[in-house]
Amino acid sequence: MLDNIKTLEGRPVAIADPDDITLGDLLAVLDIHAERPLVFFYDGRPVKPGYHVTEVKAGQFAALDCGANPEAWTEIFVQLWDVDEDKREHMAAGKFAKIIRKVSEHVGLDGSAKLTFEVSDGVVPMALYRAAAPEVVDGEVHVALSARPSSCKPRDRWLKEQQAVQAQTNRCCGPSSAKPCCG
């Protein structure tokens, strides 16, 4: 469920997890700011102006987590080659979106899929990143990439359940509640 609204220059964009956006989240923002330069940041620095989108792939995964629970998900991988060629400027947000949509015509990308960026400069080995919600800064669309952490899915589910229980308790049993609903 979408519970976070991110506003970019007065235009609301609904983003479920601002620290780990989906492909659909990214494209929604890029469509609003199609003419602006798109700059990805990773490891404390921006990608070089000549970066390339070298590959976009969709994967469907089936797994067994550490609690012996079956898991299944779809993930989109966007590979960025961090190079500076031909004294180019950063790619326009609309051009990036057009590349992704062209791939989707052939591969059928799921906009709600987990989005992972694979980034390398061709020398340092490729690393995996998740993308944060885009922000417009000084006329550019900035997307911060951070290392994709591993997680324990059973623990993550338990924590989410605990947060839901706490939210329910706070909503109906807190000091400002007019109607008792606990116990």
In Å, how far from its chain's centre is CA 163?
22
pLDDT of 8 higher than 70:
no
pLDDT, residue 176, reads 57
Question: How much is the CA Rg of the chain, to the nearest whole Å?
Answer: 19
pLDDT, residue 42, reads 97
* pTM, 2 dp: 0.80
pLDDT of 56 higher than 90:
yes
- Residue 26 is encoded by which pair of tokens? 């990214």
pLDDT, residue 44, reads 93
- Average pLDDT of the segment spanning 139-168: 90
pLDDT, residue 5, reads 34
Q: What is the residue-wise DSSP string for 40-88?
A: EEETTEEPPTT-EEEEEEEEEEEEE-TTS-EEEEEEEEEEEE----TTP
SS3 content of the chain, % helix, strand, coil (to 5): 25, 35, 40
Whole-number Å distance between alpha carbons of 177 and 183: 14
pLDDT, residue 180, reads 56
Q: Where do the H-state alpha helices sit in the chain?
A: 23-32, 93-107, 153-173
Band (153; pLDDT cuts 50, 70, 90): confident
Q: How is the chain split into domains, by residue range?
A: 23-168
- Average pLDDT of the segment spanning 162-170: 85
Of 21, 111, 40, the closest CA to residue 79 belongs to 40
Q: Which residue has the higher pLDDT, 2 or 157?
A: 157
Q: Which residue has the higher pLDDT, 2 or 69?
A: 69
